[in-house]
Structure formats: structure tokens, C-alpha cells
Amino acid sequence: MLAGRLVVSITFLLGACGDDGAGPVDAAPVPVDIDNGSCGSEIRFTGEYVDWDSHKSFCGINEALIEVTGGSMDSTAPNGRFDLCIPEGATTQLDVTQPTAASQCTVQPATYTIPTILFAQKAVIQSGGFFSARSFTTMRQTSFFTMVGAAFDPTKAQVFVHIDGPERTVSIAATHGTTQAVRSVAASDWVAGAQGIDVFFPNVDVGSGTTTLTTDTGAIGTGSIPLVAGTITNVSLKSN
């Protein structure tokens, strides 16, 4: 398995060549030969599951269970990394079982309790896109929604979008609260707005259970995404 990890790491590094993060990439990402390791005909899905404010002080969520319904699963490492096999389809929804222990990322003890799903997309994986998902503790949920200016609504969905590559302006079709964004890797905090490398849509109307995600300029992974009441949907895109 170690050899497989090295191959994937090298692939990601090579895929990043020619882009200094300050402007458009030299060319649109193309599908890469992903090393599936022991996944066989399935797809190897790796990424990270980290604390809400990891742009300020990186901190993984340890011992969360990432699981394909009725399929494979993996527990996150202390740095939040996971690595498992998913079905060889265009999209796969994975459920997160939050760790029972208090967060290692907060000074005051707090736990992650909000239901969370990951929305993996074959096109993003094959483009070399890195999947980064987030969740907040119960205490941070309260303080964050105070900043948003609206109470957390358990009847609505929550959507977190990570952009691997240059920032994008992101939008969704469903009605939602005031969008928040992390503008860059050097950003000190969340700010109101829809342009960044991490964008969050609070209190999204669930409607029929899906919405359409778009960006202002090209990105792989846009399109229909799932919405579940009281749940964070995590999606990662690849800038092109």
C-alpha cells in the first residue's frame, strides 16, 4: 500500500507543475492514471477531514469513520487523512460517523456532532484533485452562525465546497443564507462572500434533495450535489 501512496503523491505533484497559484493554470487538467493499489476495479479515494478553522491552524479530525453505505470504510488518522475504495461510478456519497472523543483542535473540550457526508466525484479524482472536507464542533457551530447572522437551522442543509487550485466564485441554485469564504491559504478567517478556496453555504433549502453547483470560471466537479437536512455536504472541485 505504501508504494501506491508514493505513486499517487508523485502524480499530484506532477499535476501541479506550471501553476504558482497566482493566476490561471497553464492548461486544463486531464485525467491521470490513478494508482488504485488494492482497489481493483473500484476507485481509490483519499483526502482529509479536518477542523473548520484549519486555514488558521491546521488540525485533523481523528478517528472519524468514513464509509460507503454497505461498502468499504476507513477511520481517519490524527491528521484527518483517509484512504479507501469506492465504487467505479461517476459519483459516490460517503457517510461520516463523528468521533466520540473531544476535539484535539479546540482549547475548551468540544465534540463534532453534526451529521456529515462526503460527495466524491470520479472526474475530480482522475484530474488529480485533492479532496478536503471540514466540520465544526458544537461550540464552533454556535459561534460561526453568530458571525453569519442567522441561527443554525436543522431543517436546512449546509454545503462546504473546497477548490483545489486557484480560487473561484462559487454559487448554488438553492436558496441559502449569507455565503462565507476563505479567500486564500494565507487568509486569517472566514469572510462574507462566495469567492475563495473554501466556500460555505449556510442554511440551504433542501427542496427535492439536490441543487446545482456552478463556478464563475472553469472547474471540474460542478453540477448536481446532494442536500440533506441538518447535514453538511462536503464537495471538492478542481480548478482548470
pLDDT digits (tens, 9 = 90+) for 196-221: 999 999 999 999 999 999 999 999 99
Q: How far apart are CA 93 and CA 43, in angstroms?
A: 13
Average pLDDT over residues 34-54: 88
Asked whether the predicted pLDDT for residue 89 surpasses 80, the reply is yes
Asked whether the predicted pLDDT for residue 125 surpasses 80, the reply is yes
pLDDT digits (tens, 9 = 90+) for 60-87: 999 999 999 889 999 999 999 999 999 9
In DSSP notation, 81-122 reads EEEEEE-SSSEEEEEEEPPSSPPSS-SS-----S-EEEEEEH
Asked whether the predicted pLDDT for residue 1 surpasses 70, the reply is no
Nearest-CA neighbor of 39 among 4, 15, 65, 14?
4
Q: How far apart are CA 104 and CA 81, in angstroms?
A: 15
| C-alpha distance from residue 50 to each of 1, 34, 140 (Å) | 23, 24, 13
The listed range with the strongest mean pLDDT (107-111, 147-151, 233-237) is 233-237
Contact 38, 1 (CB under 8 A): yes
pLDDT digits (tens, 9 = 90+) for 174-183: 999 999 999 9
Asked whether the predicted pLDDT for residue 9 surpasses 60, the reply is no
Look at residue 35 in the predicted model and tell me its pLDDT: 58
Average pLDDT, the chain: 87
Place of cell 469513520: 65
Look at residue 2 in the predicted model and tell me its pLDDT: 37
Look at residue 15 in the predicted model and tell me its pLDDT: 40
